[in-house]
């Protein structure tokens, strides 16, 4: 009986070691994420890998395989170097604020009636809806009184978009940054006697090499475009990347924008239906002129994304 128990324990420890070893190899491969689109996908799951490695290290302490646990803890530290900075405090503004609500509503599974009820209760100054198709136009009509300034592109795929605002637009334009002709909505409005440029975008998901290259090109072109902008700038959208991807880091570096999640910790927006895989894909980035006074996720509304609510101050 004792022999059987020992065999079972050895088998379980062996399984834990195998899982930890695979997670460690994946951690090492993240160093080459810029070179291959599939490696970039692993960068989005740093939290999950860190949690798994920490659990594996803890379990192996009680086995004869104590040395691998040290390797696993080293990999945990590598992930934490990327994760912890999002929790470090940042300056909070005290001036007049305005609020942005960003929501990938899901063109097929989202519930327009639930979303409309949620938006009617919102105190947001600007609302961005993504995956905006014909079945969502009723929302635009219902919100016209509260949000009279509107810009939208209705599409039959997942890349339509609508922008509703309480503030009047000084200018408005629909941009296409790549040959895929995915729309980005750009508007300019005034806040505290300053002109603010607001851009909403939604690149392709990195589900293949071609899609990944399209996403990367779109985000790079947007970064260069915004780097040449003068004055306060905001970029919002389901960017189909996480803060730990080299593509996201390039976007920040080239554009000079900051991540609004800084100081508020990880706020995962996708997929709502499976918490073990939660990652932050929906972002609001901003120029140095802004500080973030509040940032939170809204309630689940039938989409596979959570809404993002961000309050900014100049």
Tens of pLDDT, residues 118-173: 999 999 999 999 999 999 999 999 999 999 999 999 999 999 999 999 999 999 99
Q: What is the pLDDT of residue 299?
A: 93
Q: What is the pLDDT of residue 312?
A: 95
List residues bridging with 185 in a β-sheet.
Answer: 174, 200
Domain ranges in the chain are 2-86, 93-313
| Alpha helices per DSSP H over 152-258 | 209-227, 246-255
**Does residue 60 contact residue 12 with C-beta atoms inside 8 Å?**
no
Mean pLDDT confidence for 231-256 = 97
Mean pLDDT confidence for 177-190 = 96
Res. 181: pLDDT tops 60: yes
DSSP H or E segment with residue 5? helix 2-29
Closest CA to 212 of 185, 180, 244: 180
Q: What is the pLDDT of residue 123?
A: 92
Mean residue pLDDT across the chain: 92
Digit-coded pLDDT (tens) for 57-107: 888 877 767 788 889 899 999 999 999 999 999 888 777 889 999 999 998
Res. 1: pLDDT tops 50: no
State the pTM of this model. 0.93
The model's confidence at residue 288, banded by pLDDT at 50, 70 and 90, is very high
**93-313 — its CATH code?**
3.60.10.10
Kindly list the distances between the CA atom of residue 94 and the CA atoms of 91, 97, 194, 292, 314, in Å, as whole numbers in the listed order.
Answer: 10, 8, 17, 10, 8
Tokens of 118: 């949620």
**Does residue 260 contact residue 25 with C-beta atoms inside 8 Å?**
no
């Amino acid at each position: 009986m004792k022999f059987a128990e020992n065999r079972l324990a050895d088998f379980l420890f062996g399984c834990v070691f195998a899982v930890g070893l695979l997670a460690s190899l994946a951690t090492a491969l993240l160093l080459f994420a810029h070179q291959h689109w599939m490696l970039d996908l692993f960068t989005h799951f740093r939290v999950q890998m860190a949690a798994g490695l920490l659990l594996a290290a803890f379990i192996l302490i009680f086995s004869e395989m104590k040395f691998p646990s040290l390797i696993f803890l080293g990999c945990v530290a590598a992930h934490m170097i990327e994760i912890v900075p999002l929790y470090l405090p940042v300056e909070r503004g005290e001036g007049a604020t305005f609020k942005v609500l960003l929501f990938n509503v899901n063109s097929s599974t989202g519930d327009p009636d639930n979303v409309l009820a949620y938006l009617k209760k919102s105190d947001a100054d600007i609302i961005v809806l993504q995956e905006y198709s014909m079945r969502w136009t009723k929302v635009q009509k219902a919100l016209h009184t509260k949000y009279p300034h509107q810009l939208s592109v209705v599409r039959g795929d997942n890349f339509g978009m609508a922008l509703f605002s309480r503030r009047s637009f000084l200018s408005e334009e629909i941009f296409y940054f790549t040959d895929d002709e995915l729309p980005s909505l750009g508007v300019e409005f005034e806040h505290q006697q300053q002109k603010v440029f607001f851009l909403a975008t939604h690149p392709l998901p990195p589900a293949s090499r071609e899609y990944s290259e399209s996403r990367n090109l779109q985000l790079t072109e947007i970064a260069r475009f915004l780097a040449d902008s003068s004055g306060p700038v905001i970029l919002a959208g389901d960017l189909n990347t996480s803060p730990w991807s080299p593509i996201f880091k390039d976007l920040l570096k080239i554009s000079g924008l900051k991540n609004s999640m800084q100081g508020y910790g990880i706020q995962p927006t996708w997929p709502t239906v499976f918490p073990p895989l939660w990652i932050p894909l929906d972002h609001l980035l901003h120029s140095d002129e802004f500080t973030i006074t509040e940032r939170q996720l809204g309630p689940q509304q039938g989409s596979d994304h959570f809404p993002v609510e961000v309050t900014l101050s100049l």
